[in-house]
Structure 1
Amino acid sequence: MAVTIRAQVNPEICRYPLGMTGGQIQDEDITASSQWSESTAARFGRLDFDTGDGDGAWCPDIMSEPDGFTEYLQVDLRSLHFITLVGTQGRHADGMGNEFAQRYRIKYSRDGSSWVGWHDRTGKQVIEGNRNTYDAVLKDLEPPIIARFVRFMPVTDPSMIVCMRVELYGCEWLDGLVSYNIPDGHQMIYRGLEIFFNDSVYDGATAQRLTKGLGQLTDGTWGLDDFLHSHVPGVWPGYDYVGWSNKTFPKGYVEMIFDFDHIRNFTSMKVHCSNMFSRGVRQFRQATCYFRSESEWESDPVSFRPAAEPPSQSARFVTMPLGDRTARSIKCRFHFSDQWMLFSEVAFQSGSAVYNTSLGPNKDGRSKKTLLGDDPTHKVDDSNTRILIGCLVAIIAILSAIIVTILWRQVWQKMLEKASRRWLDDELTARLAVQTQAFYFLNSSLSSEDGSTSTYERIYPPRADYQEPSRLIRKLPEFAECTEHIESGASCRAAISSDVAPHYAEADIISLQESSDNSSITAVSINLFAGSDSTLREFPREKLTFKEKLGEGQFGEVHLCEAVGMQDILDDDLSVEGGGESPFLVAVKMLREDANKNARNDFLKEIRIMSRLRDPNIVSLLAVCVDTDPLCMITEYMENGDLNQFLCSLRQKADREEGNDEVSYMKLLGMAVQIASGMKYLSSLNFVHRDLATRNCLVGKNDTIKIADFGMSRNLYRGDYFRIQGRAVLPIRWMSWESILLGKFTMASDVWAFGVTLWEILTLCEEQPYSQLSDEQVIENTGEFFRNQGKQVCLPKPQRCPERIYNDLMLSCWRRNANERPSFQEIHTQLTESMA
């Protein structure tokens, strides 16, 4: 009996990773309905697997829809597998990703044409997925599935961007059984209790007779001795069994048909039966099986009568020899020996294959070799086996030697690289320069050779391509002439600000967490924006009258325009400043015709995202002009400009007019509440702004504040951005330490920027954050935040700021540990309560 039971599929043992993580599943076997870009193609959707290229996950091209059947990541296992577990993760991208699937569905197929949607034993189809980008979430499939093809289909809010990495767990399905055809189960009334013996997890067609599917007879779980009880909690009596009463079978037998993936040589069949004869249930009296390889059933069946056993009401496996018959389909007739006949599991042994659960180790540590050839009727043709095994052993030995040699060389290469980096660390290690030495350091470092001692201390050795910001700053072309500027009395910063055209995420109002590397982005069809989203309208260019240029950047310009007839195309859910006035003023962001491909794709992505955003404190995208070049997006215009200049004007007015109450603390706090509300909305969608500041907040009538991203398109704020490590310029005075040092942008880094923005509001933008520090010192100060030795410099408490707001809110936004910073929900609640 023990040997027989081991021959069945055991879901508790059949839980091996099937090759997404380990790479056994090839790239060509991983496909998807679409991809956001080449760097987020299907082949990158491997759980806990980093190929060194790509953006760390599969991301579909368009937003996932709530039905969960629009986009999918498909895995081809090349053969049938018994799948018991699935795992998912969000996007990695060296910590810069922030997209993940909170929920998803699974579809599977055994032949690639007929697809079945998985559901649990209660009928629920949606699986709860991830809550962050880095943790892998494993979910048991109850019931398990038998499939070759599996699709993961994210289910999310329409405005949510998702990315996935997945793994499948199970083992190979060696039965080869692809479907069974049986009569639907019957209902028993026992002492007034209704007992249902239907196949409740069958995945084929169910109409009196079950066809073209698999279910409880192949789920790897056999019933208990008492069929009123079950392994599965909370289910109805009889759940584990499929059973029939002889009253509806005048011929005295139940006929079942089993179809397989290809022609096989069958050794035996094992059937798990209930034998509780005190309730009218017994194992079958006789079984007769017919075989079919092509179109017709063979005329000579195999018959079997179970041997007489001592009276026992225990459920049991009955093994029926099949005499090494060759077939692709088997039709078996099981004859009643009592009123009821109940089955819970059926399994077949064919050929010389090792059965599923023989993959795990024994207690003595050796691999199991439970061949179904242990059955005395099993035959193996081993005439050429020894020669074949010898050849395979020789090939494996040669490959092993080659692999060991390659790995050994890689280990030595890494050791040498680490040694060289350690020498570089020793050369660069020094104490953090005090503020009074900053100018002297900058002057001397610019005039010294590359190997001179730096006052910048290496925080830790990250990647091999990471270099000290202070060393890289000296190598940038715009710093090459800094020495002569300093000698002439000008500052190096002034030289940079006058020559460099900043470009930091210019086309991103909300970052999609993409790497700052030059990864190519697949061009998006313009028709997608013009036709797929009812909230996105094409506006005639001839109805736009340009009034003035508001600003410009490296690849685009922002103009104030008058739009004729704009009110007629606006949806009711759009809340727009001055919506009832005529003429209708709008801000038009236009991409230059000479913009490169990346800038164009970024611009289209911004349109896609902004079209989904609907919040009173987020600037609304009203319409687009994308039918021809240049591409334009039309957003609402806020008549009072950006918050930075608005606060400056309030401060100047208060200085001129003593007793002016337009800059009361409660008014400023109300502005902060609106920004917190807008950021709370963005964080609910898992969007990270990456450049939150007063310059990127616009002011409308009645002091309405709306978050935008026009700061980088204005020369006025060029001095707020600084170039680091040869990348795009960054607003380092608003950035968290992990964003500057690690390139990691998250909700928590936006919270850090909000703390700086709140500081700006309460100081009426009188000065830049950390105005007493040079840009180099700001970078070095982030190193002190990382080291966390109490030497870091925080922004001082504004004069108008109460101690409670500064200590409990502002300083909490700048905590070193990102997990300890408050959420925007908490920030909004705290500010709102402060106004009460």
Structure 2
Amino acid sequence: MGVVPIRHHFLLVLLSAAARSQVNPEMCRYPLGMTGGQILDEDISASSQWSESTAARFGRLDFDNGDGDGAWCPDVMSESDGLKEYLQVDLRSLHFLTLVGTQGRHADGMGNEFAQRYRIRYSRDGTHWVAWQDRKGRQVIEGNRNPYDVVLKDLEPPIIARYVRFMPVTDHSMIVCMRVELYGCQWLDGLMWYSAPEGHQMIYRGLDVYLNDSVYDGVASDRLTKGLGLLTDGTWGLDDFLHSPIYGMWPGYDYVGWTNKSFPRGYVEMVFDFDHVRNFTSMKVHCSNMFSRGVKLFRQASCFFRSQGEWEGEPVSFKPPADRVSQGARFVTVPLGGRTASAIKCRFHFSDLWMLISEVAFQSGSAVYNTSLTPRKRGHPTNALPGEDPTHKVDDSNTRILIGCLVAIIAILSAIIVIILWRQVWQKMLEKASRRMLDDELTARLAVQTQAFSFLRSSSSSSSTSSSSEEEGEEEEGGGREGEGGGSSGSSTYERIFPLSADYQEPSRLIRKLPEFAQSAENLSASRSARLLLQQGVGPDAGAPHYAEADIISLQDGPGSASSCSSIAAFSLLAGREATVREFPRDRLSFQEKLGEGQFGEVHLCEAEGMQDFLDEDAPSVERSSGGAPLLVAVKTLREDANKNARNDFLKEIRIMSRLRDPNIVRLLAVCVDTDPLCMITEYMENGDLNQFLHQLQLGEGPPTTEEEVEEEVVGNIVSYRKLMSMAVQIASGMKYLSSLNFVHRDLATRNCLVGRSCTIKIADFGMSRNLYRGDYYRIQGRAVLPIRWMSWESILLGKFTMASDVWAFAVTLWEILTLCQEQPYCQFSDEQVIENTGEFFRDQGKQVYLPKPACCPGDVYTDLMLSCWRRNAKQRPSFQEIHCRLMETQRSMLASA
């Protein structure tokens, strides 16, 4: 067990009367004890068993003590009696479950029985059982394909339960065996269920926004009763309630909301029931405050308490301060004053037309006992509820013994931590020594490369100009990030639970073992040496401008924070004269909504009044508003407390953006740099980003029939295949322009393409700054984020970003377009498995997994274009000029056949 889990459990012992306010599903992934034995044999039961050697107690994942046949196997004959077979686990207290693992029968290599599919049922009180279903209503979970491999499935939504049943789904004639494990953490809130009115439907600008509790596991009618749902799933909504952090969900999914038109008394009443009597210190409620859409925080919360019998007459009231400045969603802490109760009834008063809540959590302590920390006793009845055992009483006479044990535990933990830290120090020292030896070796090779370069320069300077420029641009684009792009996700705070092959290596370790790594490092050093000679005027290109590369941007800590300086912000400097950008009056900018937060500051969607007067005559690609109406723009602002380096980077991005002139590239329109905060104003298309635009559409079954459909090719929510290819042609055209300038985008995806009138597409860089797409990025060692599902294998493992890696990302973007962005690329893989798949691309043993052919994609487009963009050898991938030419030919052939 690692240091962090030990410290976690120790704090639970030390603070036995306290409970956390929220649970984090990303961290709550601990194995609960089927494998480790913390769950006792008497807590595991089953509906039946094939034999004594396949009893329920043998159904433990990756555990074989030699006594049984290595798994639980039900008696298939009992199926004819109508009895549903199940393996039941009693966790003795409420737990928050985020993951389940299954495995077939091992039996020392003699078994070949496993469950291909299964269902899960759970209960919090042992009497009321609920069938688990995912967020789209599916109950059957795909299980194992062989008896050996562990198959892990995320529970979305998570389960809050004490009892869990695994129910295999199979043919009655087939023998089924299972071994299971549960992953999660203790549900310290103690909330058994909440009762509330059913959420309402909002109509916002013609869009249906469903604010109901779609995952509630109790009785759902006009009022929700005896269940838990969205308010306790550990995921809170975004600032803009129309979007969801969960991929593919409908507008308003994360919130439960009500309109005051349905409540004549002006408040919503909710009742919360707990497992036993508790001392409540506070309640945290996550609310939306987008007052521009009629949604505000509750005006007042009044909470009544009940230990047993009737509700107490004196409530606790709290009024949160009104906020008309920030529209961000936030947690509101309601102090409960240490009141004792087993149930709480709260009335939330409206302060506007709508009130939206996405999460409710409680801080409390046990009033008499604490069931979560009482040791289990053999022979304890399995159907007893938490708090019903009279043996769970506090013995004050053992206080001194308890204190002594705690002191001893602290001393042991301190010694373990010191030993671990000492080992880490020695490992770092050894790594530095090995790096120093490698550097000495590379230095010797570098001297040889420098001499060879100087000789070649003097003998054939004219013939090597073009090739050296190309090599320099390619190596410089990727070299600055070598080693960083392939970093691991840092030391995990919980035990690794995803099943990877035995030869899997973390990216940072994997690249050190690659047979070509030493040669790559040698070539990289030679390239950097050549670039240094060129900058000093020694090489054949002396005096020519050179391109600089920006580092990967650090990600700020905190929920929902992301870096905005991706793609175009990380472009190389363009040679040539600087373009002029005019100063725009700040008072003409009207705030509409916040798009996201980035490296420099915030990104806002605004309307710019009179922007047409500031546009250059050579800006035909900018969509001008009709009738002098304000123009929709995106405004990036620099933090007022930004340091000098951040200010210089911001100004450098302005210089880079001012030079881009292409119909399919987002244009820098104006700046506000006369006073702080510094701002850059870029165009923003009226239809938003391409990902959300396509996600709302459906593919038409036939060609357009009327002249209007031929002209538009997007009728209602139906889009033609021809229009999709037109979008791809425009993106390829924009990337062809960037590649002609030696610009490497690094983050090409549909989220970074904007859609205008008549489906005009322009490439941008807003995707990383938006909370909506934070699931598309993978955090590297807590410092940087990478869009690994769009990145080539050499970008992930070697940190090389080139035109060829942008070609790889274009093919993934084309795949998104042809699937209408209904799924995330490699959606069946976890982030770690995506990284492992890139290792298969490097090894090139035929085990790599490609994105499948979209249903509407012709075979030649998939095989001749997309697969060619995903070739292992970057030099064999087509250029953007070739890609644009192929897509134009495909488009012309479609027009000819129409």
Larger Rg: 1
TM-score class normalised by the smaller sequence: 0.3 to 0.5
Give the TM-score of the pair, scaled to structure 1: 0.43
Give the TM-score of the pair, scaled to structure 2: 0.40
